[in-house]
Amino acid sequence: MASKSSRTPSRPAAAEATGPANPPRERLRAYRSKRDFGVTPEPSGDETSERPVASPTATGRFVVQRHRATALHYDFRLEVDGVLASWAVPRGPTLDPGQRRLAVRVEDHPLGYFAFEGVIPAHEYGGGDVIVWDWGTYRASDDTPDAAQAVDAGEFKFELDGEKLHGAFVLVRTAGFGRYRGRPDGSRAKWLLIHRRDDDAVPGWDAEDEPYSVKSGRTNDEVATRRRGRPTARRL
């Protein structure tokens, strides 16, 4: 586990502020500014995607997308106050509580991105192939019951109920360094994604051992070549 100093949340970044003073449309401004929606198949965020949470005890939905862009990474997203709060996790999430995963804060994404799977053109921002690697719901822990406030404060404890990911996790913002030093707009801030020690913990668990989509059953290679998928598990 990290030392106490590395686990101390840094000062909240302005771009991560949530609530009525910063509505979803404003929080999607950075997302929209980076994309040409006449070219990319990604959702613009103009459409409404207010699907009910599948479980009455859940705080919201989560999705993890395996994204082969300039470098392979996993996009970890939590539904928070009308947007998908998002982090890029280079090595992917893990169920191993002995592993700390770097998670770099990126711009909020629209709720319509929850089920996005496809190919982003090479010359567009984030160009590459994307699969829905996992999805499900999450529940905020009693220690941090308000997801938006916890993310703003820099430490959020929650439990995931997905197809692949289960159990208690914590996201904690750190001071950051080098190329992961946070920018004034809140992007690029360095966080850690850690599975807590519980009955769902699995030492040595590696996301790359399960490289298929829970939406279509396809791999990134199959999405890139637009091949058909195989039967999958539950849909949300």
Is the separation of the CB atoms in 227 and 210 below 8 Å? no
Query: What phi and psi, each to the nearest 5 degrees, are found at residue 5?
Result: -65, -40
Distances (CA, A) of 141 to 87, 129, 146, 152, 167: 19, 33, 9, 16, 11
- Strand extents, DSSP E, 81-211: 83-89, 100-109, 118-120, 128-140, 155-162, 166-173, 190-195
Give the position of tokens 């490289």: 211
Per-residue confidence (pLDDT) for residue 143, from 0 to 100 = 96
Per-residue confidence (pLDDT) for residue 14, from 0 to 100 = 39
Per-residue confidence (pLDDT) for residue 12, from 0 to 100 = 41
Per-residue confidence (pLDDT) for residue 13, from 0 to 100 = 41
Query: What is the rounded end-to-end Cα distance, in angstroms, of the chain?
Result: 33
Q: What does the block give as tokens for 178?
A: 């080098």
Distance, CA of 163 to CA of 135 (rounded, Å): 7
- Strand extents, DSSP E, the chain: 60-68, 72-80, 83-89, 100-109, 118-120, 128-140, 155-162, 166-173, 190-195
pLDDT tens digits for the chain (236 residues)?
444 434 444 444 434 455 545 788 888 999 999 999 999 999 998 865 555 555 677 899 999 999 999 999 999 999 999 999 999 999 999 999 999 999 999 999 999 999 999 999 999 999 999 999 999 999 999 999 999 999 999 999 999 999 999 999 999 999 755 555 555 555 679 999 999 999 999 999 999 999 999 999 999 999 999 866 555 544 55
Q: What does the block give as tokens for 24?
A: 């979803």
Per-residue confidence (pLDDT) for residue 51, from 0 to 100 = 57
Distance, CA of 13 to CA of 186 (rounded, Å): 5
Q: What does the block give as tokens for 27?
A: 């929080």
Per-residue confidence (pLDDT) for residue 147, from 0 to 100 = 97
